[in-house]
Amino acid sequence: MRRIAVIGLGLLGGAVAARLLRGGFRVAGHDVRPAQAEALRPQGLEPAASAAAAVAGADAVFTILPSLASVETVYLGPGGLVESAPRSATLIQMSTISRALTLRLAEAARARGLAFLDTPMSGTSGMVARGDCTIFVGGEAAHVEACRPVFDAVARKTLHVGPVGAATLAKLATNMLVGLNTAALAEALVLGAKGGLDPAALVEIFRDSAAGSRMVEVRGPLMAERRFAAQMKLELFLKDFALMLEEGQGLGVPLPLTSLTHQLCTAAVAAGHGGEDLAAVITTLERLAGLDA
């Protein structure tokens, strides 16, 4: 595989495209915001005016889009990928969506003779840019192996977790822990701050204790230093929470902590932090504690 198309060049999509370019692949990209593609042109990206133009001649097509509706339109809408992608291409769906939509896309692709992989990532855009992320893959083993050089250019590790749909569920469970861990970290920092502890010092204490975690490493400094530039936008994580709760309802699994964290993040978005990083959930807890933001 040498020619790759990337549809969706936001925080994650742009990071994926940049990794592929550094890996020596020829990459065409499309985003509904042309500036996103133009920003990557100096790195070698070939901007495309449409998804159909981007996938012409592609060996693999990555889709990294913000909503279920956008994914459905790009795949199944008029002139969508199921219609326009070369029959020899592998469709690599990286957006966080529902299992139901994942299975529907896979069936539509199969009916057209296209290979389809369910491949959400675990990692912030900064982690993806450094190659410090994990790709979960659901699909046929032969298709996974054919795409492994492409995945290796993007991620530190690629895990084949089962058939199509299995990777989506694994991603939702993983993001559940990310969200709950982030909220717990914020709550602990607010408790310490209300009692007079320096947040940066407390982050170091967490790092060197049994409380250490990847979210302490990634989001602890962001919270302590009030740096909320988005690596994963709060408003997009709300979509993930809704998918988790939907999955839990369908499987008969109560998710009380997830539900509460969803509400805390909803409050942060309502207060104007939707475009900021998930770390900004701390602002809601600060307000509840009577601390000045």
Catalytic residues: 171
For every residue of the chain, which 3-state class applies, written as one string? CCEEEEECCCHHHHHHHHHHHHCCCEEEEECCCHHHHHCCHHHCCEECCCHHHHHCCCCEEEECCCCHHHHHHHHHCCCCHHHHCCCCCEEEECCCCCHHHHHHHHHHHHHCCCEEEECCEECCHHHHHHCCCEEEEECCHHHHHHHHHHHHHHCCEEEEEECCCHHHHHHHHHHHHHHHHHHHHHHHHHHHHHCCCCHHHHHHHHHCCCCCCHHHHHHHHHHHCCCCCCCCEHHHHHHHHHHHHHHHHHHCCCCHHHHHHHHHHHHHHHHHHCCCEHHHHHHHHHHHCCCCC
